[in-house]
Amino acid sequence: MDIKQQDAQYHFKTYKRYPVTLTKGYGSRVWDDKGKEYVDALAGIAVNNVGHCHPKVVEAIQVQASELMHVSNFFTTKPQVDLARELINLSNHDRVFFANSGTEAVEGAIKIARRFAEKKGKKGPMITMNGAFHGRSMGALALGQKKYQEGFGEMLSGVVQVPFNDLKAVEEYANDDLVAVFIEPVQGEGGIHVADKDYMNELRALCYEYDALLIFDEIQCGIARSGNFFAYELFDVVPDIVTLAKGLGGGFPIGAIIATEKVADVIEYGKHGTTFGGNPLACAAGLATLKVIEEENLAREAEEKGKWLRERIQAEMTIEPGIEEVRGVGLMNGVQLNFPGSNVAMRMLEKGVIANVTASNVVRLVPALNITYEELEIVAEAVVESITEERKEQAKS
């Protein structure tokens, strides 16, 4: 059996795989087992912010793997302390908790919110947004889109979902019992929708007024992808809690929760924990990633290159009627189509560019922050050509 047949035989049938097997990557390029080269505009779904196999991240992992990989959180380790200090110095927060993934960070944030509510005597809801995606574990599922909840029974209680960017919908639940507002500053799976700045400031004021928590899920839009290290900086607000993952480890699995002292204090000894979270190997990868982002000024690179990419594709809208809108911030961008777009990603793959389609008709472009302009031009050409081809093909049927 070839590798695809073995995958089909042994793995859960949970993924609709692309018809290629990748074997290596460097920067914004990857290669398959037949030697074909691709420009990667998906970056492991907004994970490889510093590109594939960045030499400094690889070296940090190799060195740490030869010294100490895992000891549990019964012990203090220097990589964890160093990464915690770096994140707090970069943020407007006071404490960090490390996890292994984004969904674990969200689960931790839910626990903190419920513990906060218990201490405050609050009985009201946690508010989330239509189109949200916060992960696939049961608590995270309860915060997200209904289509991901189907078939898994009763969801976590005390969650209310309202339209994104609609303050009046939030205000309907605004009282002293309100527990928290969960929001992605930029919705990823929901189709690359950016929150309005006024809306975010009004949410901050509302949460202050009712002593509720404002929780930002920056798992996809954080770690410099938005053009700022934290996406909350775009809105001139400071949330009580921020969840992080994806780009934090430079391709190595790690998640984190950062919070203000007041909020972190509700989780006393023994109320939360993790076996693998914050292990020395993951933290060494994370610390190296943050150093690369700083040294290469990748937040600014993301802002400038993202603007260039949006304008480059927008310029094609006059001659390509299939493009309805190009939107995003930094290097988190979506090209919304006016027809079902799932086949567009396959056409791009054939042209040697990796992307995906989310929300049924939005081509998601989330490449490494150090992608070159030459590679971005290849991406833009492939996007537009693939949209044109697919639109014409669908018009025939």
Decide: residue 339, CB within 10 A, 0-12 exposed, 13-18 middle, 19+ buried.
middle
Query: Dmax over Cα atoms in the chain, in whole Å?
Result: 64
* Nearest Cα residue to 303 out of 267, 275, 330, 335: 330
Neighbours of 53 (CB within 10 A): 16
Interatomic CA distance for residues 176 and 75, integer angstroms: 40
Give the separation between CA 130 and CA 146, rounded to whole angstroms. 9
> Do residues 73 and 274 make contact, with C-beta atoms less than 8 angstroms apart?
yes
For 132, counting Cβ atoms within 10 Å of its Cβ (0-12 exposed, 13-18 middle, 19+ buried), the class is: buried
Distance CA 290, CA 140 (A): 26
Block residue for tokens 């990796």: 354
Q: Give strand ranges (E) for 208-282.
A: 213-217, 241-244, 255-259
Choose among 357, 301, 351: nearest CA to 330. Answer: 301
List the 356-358 sheet strands across, edge first.
Answer: 323-329, 332-337, 362-365, 356-358
Which of 347, 367, 333, 387 is closest to 30 using CA atoms?
A: 367
| CA nearest to 82, candidates 305, 232, 283 | 283
Lookup result for tokens 């930002």: 216
Catalytic residue annotation: 133, 217, 246
98 within 8 A of 278, measured Cβ to Cβ: yes
Which residues have a Cβ under 8 Å from the Cβ of 61 and sit 6 or more positions away? 252, 281, 284, 285, 288
β-pair partners for 126: 159, 180
